[in-house]
Amino acid sequence: MDTLPHVITTPNLTTTFRHGLTTSTLRYSNPRLFRSFKVANNFRVSSELKSRNNTTTIDYTDPDWKMKFTENFEKRFRLPHVTDTLPDSVSMPSTFCLKMRTPVKSGVPGNYQLDEEWNGYINDNDRVLLKTIYHSSPTSAGAECIDPGCNWVEQWVHRAGPRKNIYFKPEEVKAAIVTCGGLCPGLNDVIRQIVITLEIYGVKKIVGIPFGYRGFTNKELTEVPLSRKVVQNIHLSGGSLLGVSRGGPDVSEIVDSLEERGINMLFVLGGNGTHAGANAIHNECCKRRLKVSIIGVPKTIDNDILLMDKTFGFDTAVEEAQRAINAAYIEAHSAYHGIGIVKLMGRSSGFIAMQSSLASGQIDICLIPEVPFNLHGPHGVLSHLKYLIESKGSAVVCVAEGAGQNLLKKTNATDASGNVIFGDIGVYIQQETKKHFKEIGIHADVKYIDPTYMIRACRANASDGILCTVLGQNAVHGAFAGFSGITVGTCNTHYAYFPIPEVISHPQLVDPNSRMWHRCLTSTGQPDFD
């Protein structure tokens, strides 16, 4: 999926994360980010000849610049490990082996036997190639170039999966799962698979933290005991068994709660803001020298997490959006001068709107946050709608919720996660369309559909179900391998681990110069609305 090579500049806060041998600096415009896990939305994007992953200044005249770039990249993508803080931590043979089905006996703690014959383990030196296309020119569609000459430099990330050696004794583990932010198809699938995989390792104490981060400190909320029996069928319905919420208490309070509860593995399901919180928890645990593994599983229906092929729930969202688009098409096609307008999710990134438009083949105009547009004027959206009505008799518009916010009155209000509360661009386009056609004396029958909560509250489809299953398994493998402050995702169809700071610096955006967006424009046949 093509994304935008961009550099983010946000003036108010610079937070430094230390992981491994290096320091990565991420800039946020919200100074309260690590107190209440809020993510900035007022970012500026500039498309430059810089890699989105390169935060250092490179002297391209230096003949060794490629080597220095690679060394810096490897340092930044080194996975934080419990031995960084506690170097005396010892490993032991893994209790995870699908050929050796004998469970760990509670009466023989530490009696772990490694099956040397099994070839299901991942070598710690295994890597996944981050980028696979050699762009011969910075003018090539979707090009992401490191230097002005667009030279090829290999960039490798760590492969996910079970390791031969583990750093936690299963009988000593108390694992917790928390789901934060809004709903997303597949949450229950991930919860279920984390629990099942933990039990295969031999973990007996597994709990769920109810209603997001607030569940750590709200005395009215109690832990939810989890087992395979409890989670066996939860993937058959949407939502989250544990409930969700935005915002949360201070990081120190959460880590206090982890200590009091005896939790030494925490699996955090959420988006950019939730992952920022998970990374802050990881840093606080390191500061206190606690042997706790914090593992993220990226959950965002908008598919706006950096470096990953896609996030769970996205495929389901695109599939469910087809019902709304088809309804809008039938309404528009069946009416005299019918116009159907569908608003889909996508605050900063227009992936759902773009992919849904491509999938349906029924969209005439697709509007996304990354591409500015004019509603009025000779080259505006309304002018093209008039052309469509006159030429084909009907039209269907798909708009992402974050598109065209410059056309609406700003409220400056934010939700509990620190997200700016947007104006309703769908209602605005509906009203302006009715007003415009009335003014020019042409009849128009305008229908508006907003399926937002129907899309995110449904059960995951088969594709997302598979993705959630493997993400849940690899999250547990990463925790037992001793990693912390990492998240798991797909990279060029392979599963990989990423240090959290590298995926949360800013949202992943649709690249207006990408082949995928060009394909969408070819499908809709829409002009530039400038």
Q: What is the pLDDT of residues 58-92, one digit of tens each?
A: 888 899 999 999 999 999 999 999 999 999 999 99
Length of the chain measured in residues: 530
- Our CA angle for 248, 252, 254, nearest 5°, is 50
- Calculate mean pLDDT across residues 284-296: 98
Give the pLDDT score at 7.
32
Residue with tokens 């606690």: 290
| Locus of tokens 């240090």 | 499
Dihedral angle of Cα 509, 510, 511, 516, to the nearest 10 degrees: 150
* Listed ranges 109-113, 285-289, 301-305; the one with the highest mean pLDDT: 285-289
Selected catalytic residue, list 84, 302, 304, 511 = 302
Three-state SS for 265? Answer: strand
Lowest mean pLDDT among 112-116, 127-131, 329-333: 112-116
28 among annotated binding-site residues: no
2 catalytically annotated = no
* Rounded Cα–Cα distance for residues 244 and 129 (Å): 34
Does 389 show up as a binding residue in the annotation? no
The more confidently predicted of residues 496 and 139 is: 496
* 265 marked among binding-site residues: no
Statement: residue 219 has pLDDT above 80: yes
Report which secondary-structure segment, H or E, holds 396: strand 394-400
Say if residue 301 carries a ligand binding annotation: yes
Instruction: Round to whole Å and give the CA distance between 366 and 364.
Output: 7
Query: Which residues have C-beta within 8 Å of that of residue 110, sequence separation ≥ 6?
Result: 92, 169
Per-residue pLDDT band for 291 (boundaries 50, 70, 90) equals very high
Of 5, 281, 310, 41, the C-alpha closest to 135 is 5
What is the value of pTM for the model shown? 0.86
Task: State residue 8's pLDDT score.
Answer: 31
Which pLDDT tens digit goes with each residue over 246-278?
Answer: 888 999 999 999 999 999 999 999 999 999 999
Q: Structure tokens of 363?
A: 């969209």
Evaluated on CA atoms 12, 18, 19, 23, the torsion sign reads: positive
pLDDT of residue 20: 33
Span 220-237, mean pLDDT? Answer: 96
- Residue 114 confidence (pLDDT): 55
Distance CA 457, CA 426 (A): 20
| Percent of the chain scoring above 90 in pLDDT | 76
Sign for the pseudo-dihedral over CA of 166, 168, 174, 178: negative
Judge whether 67 is annotated as a binding position: no
Residue bearing the bigger pLDDT, 418 or 434: 434
